[in-house]
């Protein structure tokens, strides 16, 4: 049985990788300035964007899943808001059946939320067969004075190369449903650029 020894994914324009291990405490401010560039925006934009970057990094670190790589999407640098986040991580010894069971627990891990829709995703990319699901998750208001629910769109995808029990686990979370015309198709399209290297187990 072979094992995955290396994988890489070239991110499309607009996506910005976060450091796995930041070299210093100023990384978020530096990245925020890079994202905004020369765009005309409000004075507080760098600070607001840096704060969101730190929140995303803290949320990913809190999962305690070693080796998780993260990127964020900013579609309009003039507005200091993250539109989506992306994570990719190696899954050792994760069969398609085990991955399906993990998908069943997705919503259980989200507080004050309920599934508004779910769609199974299947496909194939150069890195292997793809399976997963799209979720529309309604987040209930934080208090009784707020009307309606916030609708979030998620895609969870597993890429399963041949002749190995390892896989690559990808998650994309859009801040709002409708940000992507077709998030499942976008996600599978991104995975066309995934390269996976396997070697025989020692």
- Helix or strand run (H / E) with residue 36: helix 27-36
In a domain, 36, yes or no: no
In a domain, 44, yes or no: no
pLDDT of residue 65: 92
Residues of the chain with pLDDT under 70: 107-113, 140-149, 202
In a domain, 49, yes or no: no
In a domain, 47, yes or no: no
Q: Which domain holds residue 175?
A: 2-18+68-200
In a domain, 177, yes or no: yes
In a domain, 57, yes or no: no
CATH, residue 92: 3.40.1000.10
In a domain, 10, yes or no: yes
pLDDT of residue 24: 82
Which residues lie closer than 8 Å to 12 by C-beta, 6 or more apart? 190
Number of structural domains the chain divides into: 1
For the whole model, what pTM was predicted?
0.89
Rg (CA), the chain: 18
* Residue corresponding to tokens 């405490």: 25
Distances (CA, A) of 192 to 8, 108, 121, 159, 185: 11, 30, 15, 11, 11
pLDDT of residue 143: 57
Residue 51 CB neighbour total at 10 angstroms: 15
């Amino acid at each position: 049985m072979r094992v995955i020894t290396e994988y890489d994914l070239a991110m499309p324009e607009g996506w910005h990788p976060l450091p796995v291990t930041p070299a210093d405490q100023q990384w978020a401010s530096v990245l925020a300035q890079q994202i905004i560039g020369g765009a005309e925006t409000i004075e507080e934009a760098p600070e607001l964007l840096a704060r969101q970057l730190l929140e995303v990094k803290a949320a990913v670190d809190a999962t305690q899943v070693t080796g998780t790589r993260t990127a964020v999407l900013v579609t309009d640098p003039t507005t200091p808001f993250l539109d989506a986040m992306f994570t990719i991580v190696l899954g050792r010894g994760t069969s398609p059946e085990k991955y399906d069971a993990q998908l069943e627990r997705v919503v259980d891990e989200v507080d004050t939320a309920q599934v508004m829709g779910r769609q199974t995703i299947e496909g194939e990319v150069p890195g292997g067969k793809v399976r997963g699901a799209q979720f529309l998750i309604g987040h209930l208001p934080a208090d009784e004075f707020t009307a309606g629910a916030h609708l979030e769109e998620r895609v969870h995808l597993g890429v399963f190369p041949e002749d190995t029990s390892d896989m690559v686990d990808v998650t994309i979370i859009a801040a709002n449903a409708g940000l992507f015309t077709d998030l499942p198709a976008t996600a599978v399209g991104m995975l066309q650029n995934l390269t996976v290297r396997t070697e025989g187990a020692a």
